[in-house]
Structure 1
Amino acid sequence: MARDTTDDTPIEDTAALAAWVAEGEKPPEAFRIGTEHEKFGFLRDTLMPAPYDGPSGIAPLLRGMEVLLGWEPILDGEAIIGLVDPVGGGAISLEPGGQFELSGAPLENLHQTCREANAHLAQVRQIAEPLGLGFLGIGVAPTWSYSDMPRMPKQRYEIMTNYMPKVGSRGLDMMYRTATIQVNLDYASEADMVKKLRVGLALQPVATALFADSPFLDGKPNGFLSYRSEIWRDTDPDRTGMMPFAFDEGFGYEAYVDWCLDVPMYFVKRGGSYIDVTGHTFREFMEGRLPHLPGELPTIGDWTNHLSTIFPEVRLKRFLEMRGADGGPWRRICAVPALWVGLLYDEGVLDQAWEMVKDWTAEERQAARDSVPRLGLKAEIAGRPMLDVARDVLDLSREGLKRRARMNSSSSDETQYLAPLEEVVALGRTMAERMLDLYEGPWQGKLDQIFTDYAF
């Protein structure tokens, strides 16, 4: 999650908001890949979550990373809550429970993405090991209760923590006990955005199945393969889900903006302070009707911050965010962008993907979304086994990456980064199912080993 902005540019009308989104358009040769990955910090001696303060805390880790990287600190009041690269555009930020996130720089190819991820993990390890910290790659904290989780000193999270129980039963678990890998991708035009958004929404359950690795909660199996995905089903219906209206005729920038205007806000940032405006919409703000800021009208900074609090399965800003995958081990950090770049960045493959999904109904897409957290590759989508669909999706992605023909110094193309997903499809079993096998077998019903086997 990037730092909140304070851009004071006034907003003339709602058309200006759609125009702001449209400014994200880029020619295909300028398309970039931005990968975000979260991980759980833990104390290696006790296997408990890393606190914010103290000698083995997140704050000294950030200060150490600041010195190592030369990046600029991001502060909330006097508390360090992240770092930003003033040159390359990457950033490090904290999720509510201390999940340590790299928001990667916009890069040209997957070779660069994987190098970035490996370099980041090595840098984190260099600072973290003397502090007694380790990091776990998985979709849900497997052994820690909600009360075990630390609280990061970010004002926006205080507002969200108070609001979440009013709109869903699992919002606090989402904030404090989940981790994800996401990829941000570009679009060339409104029509290109619409096609990519629709394909991304339709196939997000496939990605959830392929990356499912969160079968544990509170120290035991939770009955799901992607409990992270199940948590999102009851977080906040106003701002999450499969956006069926995105498949309506005439959908585009204005329709998305119109939806966002009526999503309840969390906060307005003024200077260094966050004003709790929960329960009020951005549309009210546009009309000068926020009781907390009577007569005041929003700025582009307010709009940007509001968009960052909307969480559908695919999110539109000035780029598209694919949001369906669990957090995971390092190979999967490269596999998430590989899957979506292969599908969406070659026009011919994108057209084939659209042909695959265009006749699926909203009910079929939703049924897949609802069943995949529990069933994984054993779910169905539009009457077909999820495993068969996943195999076809991987074939398309591989073809798209071949056509890109982006080679590394060893003359290897980007298809190599699909290897973890090809293994899942070949076995017909998710990583979550393999983890459950370990739990029933070598781990003997205990999860301590997960902090070794799935640590970075």
Structure 2
Amino acid sequence: MSTRVDGPKSLIIESRDELVGYLESGCKPPSDWRIGTEHEKFGFNVTDNSPVPYEGPRGIGALLEAHHNCFGWDAVRENGKIIALSCSDCPIGGSISLEPGGQFELSGAPLKTIHETEAELRQHLSQVGSVAHQLGIGFLGLGFSPKWTLDEIPVMPKDRYRIMMQYMPKRGSHGLDMMFRTATVQVNMDFSDEADMVRKLRVGLALQPVATALFASSPFTEGKLNGFQSYRAQMWQDTDPDRTGGLPFAFDDGMGFERYVDYALDVPMYFVYRDGRYIDVSGASFRDFLAGKLEAMPGLRPTIDDWADHLTTLFPEVRLKKFLEMRGADAGPFGLLLGLPALWAGLLYDKTSLDGAASLIASWTQEERDEMRLAVPRTGLATPFRGRTVRDLAREVLALAEGGLLRRAQRNDKGQDETHMLRPLMEIVESGRTEADRLIAAYEGPWKGNIDRLFESEAL
């Protein structure tokens, strides 16, 4: 989740049209399209596989400080505590931030090719790994915390999270699990105009369950098998119905930037950031804020920065900001982290592939889309769909993505195009064996039901 910092104040919003214009300002010609990859991971103490607290000489705060000192990334502080790092002048790098339970997130820079994404990811894991090793910290790439209870997980010192913690239980049973015990990989994609945005949004929403099945890696809860392929995705189904799900209205005639703005205006807010602090306005709508009718702050009117903040607190399967965020995948090992941008770049950044994907989903009903989304967390690739399975559908989707990457023809210095990034996903489809299946087999086999073996064998 993004981190707000103080800076020049943006102008007061005068009308709804400015909110629409904010989204519309993300339109770019294809030559300027970029790929931004974000991934989270769980830190753990290598001595006993316990979660890493923020405080202390071997805590998350110390890790951020060590990274800042060793590699010169700019420190972002809140109430005097370091909570994020940025590398604004790096060609690759982006920023590092903390999720509520200390999940360590790289928000990658917008890059032209997945080869650059690979270099960025290798740099990040090398830099973070070098300082983490000195502190006795390791990292796991999974969709859900495999061992720790909710009470065992530390809370990061970010005021916005404390506001969310108080509000989440009012709107679902698993909001706190989502905040503290899940980790994801997502990719941010550009669009050329409103029609292109709508087309990509619809393809992304319809095919997000396929990504969930392909990247499923969360079969454990508190040291035991939980019966799911992606327990992370299951948690999202009972987090907050006001701000999650598959956005049925996106498939209606007339969908566009204005329709998304109307949706966002009525999603309850969490906070307003003023004078270096987060003010709890949870439950109020941005529509009321626009009219100066916030009960907690009467007469206050929003700025564009407030609107940008609010958009980050919406959690649909595909989120619209000045770009589209594909949000359906569990975090995982290195190869799968690269597979997600390869999948979506191949589908969305090539006209032939996008045409094929749009044709594939064109006749699906909202009921079918919902049924697949709700079933996939448990049954994964084996989920039935229209007389076939999601595995069959995934094979077709990957073929479209591979064709798109071939036509992109972006080559690295070894002459490789981007298609090899899809290989781990193709192996999953051909074998029918997901990362979750592999972990389950290890747990039931050589690990003999000992979840601590996972930390030994699966650390990034």
TM-score of the superposed pair, with normalisation by structure 2: 0.98
Q: Distance in 1 between matches of 2:72 and 2:221?
A: 37
Residue 407 of structure 1, aligned match among 408, 411, 420: 411
* Number of the residue aligned with 2:86: 84
What's 2:373 paired with? Answer: 369
Aligned to 2:155: 151
Matching residue of 1:74? 76
Task: Give per-residue Cα distances to partners, 1:309-339, cap 9 Å, x unaligned.
Answer: 0000000000000000001111111111111
Alignment of 1:121-160 (within 5 A): 121-160=125-164
- Which residue of the partner structure matches residue 252 of structure 2? 248
Quick one: distance in 1 between partners of 2:270 and 2:305? 14
| Matching residue's letter, 2:268 | P
Among 26, 34, 37, the residue aligned to 2:36:
34
Partner of 1:332: 336
Instruction: Confirm or deny: 8 A CA contact 2:117 2:338 kept in the other structure.
Output: yes
Give the distance between the partners of 2:141 and 2:133, measured in 1 at CA.
16
For 2:24, which of 22, 28, 51 is the aligned residue?
A: 22
SS of the aligned residue for 1:26 comes to: coil
Residue 285 of structure 1 aligns to a residue whose secondary structure is: helix
- Please say if 1:10 is aligned against 2:12: yes
Match of 1:64 in 2: 66
Are the equivalent residues in 2 in contact too, given 1:197–1:314 (CA < 8 A)?
Answer: yes
Preserved CA contact (<8 Å) 2:219 2:230? yes
Residue type at the aligned position of 2:112 = E
Deviations 1:262-313 (A, max 9, x none): 0000000002111100110000101111011101111001100000000000
State the partner residue of 1:306.
Answer: 310
Question: What does 1:336-415 align with in structure 2 at a 5 Å threshold?
Answer: 336-415=340-419
Matched, 1:213 2:220: no
1:453 and 1:183 mapped to 2: Cα distance? 27
Give the 3-state SS of the residue equivalent to 1:36 in structure 2: strand
- Partners of 1:214 and 1:13 in 2: CA distance: 44
Matched, 1:316 2:331: no
Contact persistence 2:5–2:76 (CA under 8 A) = no
Partner secondary structure for residue 437 of structure 2 = helix
* In structure 1, distance between residues paired with 2:53 and 2:385: 41
Report the counterpart of residue 168 of structure 1 in structure 2.
172
Counterpart contact for 1:2–1:91, Cα < 8 Å: no
Work out whether residues 97 and 177 of structure 1, in 8 Å CA contact, stay in contact via their aligned partners in 2: yes
Q: For the residues of structure 1 that align with 2:438 and 2:334, how far apart are their CA atoms?
A: 17
Write out per-residue CA displacement over residues 41-68 of structure 1, whole angstroms, 9 at most, x where no aligned residue: 0000010011101121101110111122
Deviation (angstroms), 1:383: 3.9
* Distance (Å, rounded) in 1 between the aligned partners of 2:249 and 2:264: 12
* Equivalent residue in structure 2 for 1:284, among 288, 291, 297: 288
Which of residues 162, 174, 178 in structure 1 aligns to 2:182? 178
- 1:439 equivalenced with 2:443 (yes/no): yes
Quote the offset at 1:453 in angstroms. 2.0
The code of the aligned residue for 1:385 comes to T
Q: Give 1:380 shift.
A: 2.4
Instruction: Give 3-state SS (helix, strand or coil) of 1:12's partner.
Output: coil
2: distance between equivalents of 1:328 and 1:454? Answer: 10
Per the alignment, in what secondary structure is the counterpart of residue 107 of structure 1? coil
- Provide the alpha-carbon RMSD of the alignment: 0.9
**Distance of 2:243 and 2:260 partners within structure 1:** 12
* Secondary structure in structure 2 of the residue aligned to 1:368: helix
For structure 1, the 5+ residue unaligned runs are none
The alignment status of 1:235 with 2:247, answered yes or no, reads: no
Asked if 1:225 corresponds to 2:204, the answer is: no
| Corresponding position of 1:200 | 204
- 1:75 CA drift (Å): 1.1
Q: Partners of 2:407 and 2:5 in 1: how far apart? A: 38
Which amino acid is the alignment partner of residue 107 of structure 1? L
Q: Please give the secondary structure, in 1, of the residue aligned with 2:188.
A: strand
Who is 1:423 aligned against?
Answer: 427
Give the whole-Å Cα distance in 2 for the aligned partners of 1:387 and 1:102.
Answer: 30
Aligned pair in 2 of structure 1 residues 61, 124: CA closer, same or farther (>3 Å)?
same
SS state at 2:228 partner? coil
CA apart distance, 1:5: 5.4
In the alignment, which residue of structure 2 is the partner of 1:109? 113
CA–CA distance in structure 2, aligned partners of residues 211 and 161 of structure 1: 27
Contact 1:239 1:263 in 2 (8 A): yes
Match of 2:50 in 1: 48
3-state SS of 1:449 partner: helix
Percentage of matched positions with identical amino acids? 56
Q: Which moved more, 1:48-57 or 1:231-240?
A: 48-57
Counterparts of 2:257 and 2:5, CA distance in 1: 22
- Residues 286, 297 of structure 1: 8 Å contact kept: yes
Which whole-Å CA distance do the structure 2 matches of 1:261 and 1:90 have between them? 29
Distance in 2 separating the partners of 1:93 and 1:274:
17
Mean Cα displacement is larger for which, 374-383 or 192-201? 374-383
What is the CA–CA distance in structure 2 between the aligned matches of 1:279 and 1:19, rounded to whole Å? 25
Amino acid at match of 1:77: N
Match of 1:455 among 436, 451, 459: 459
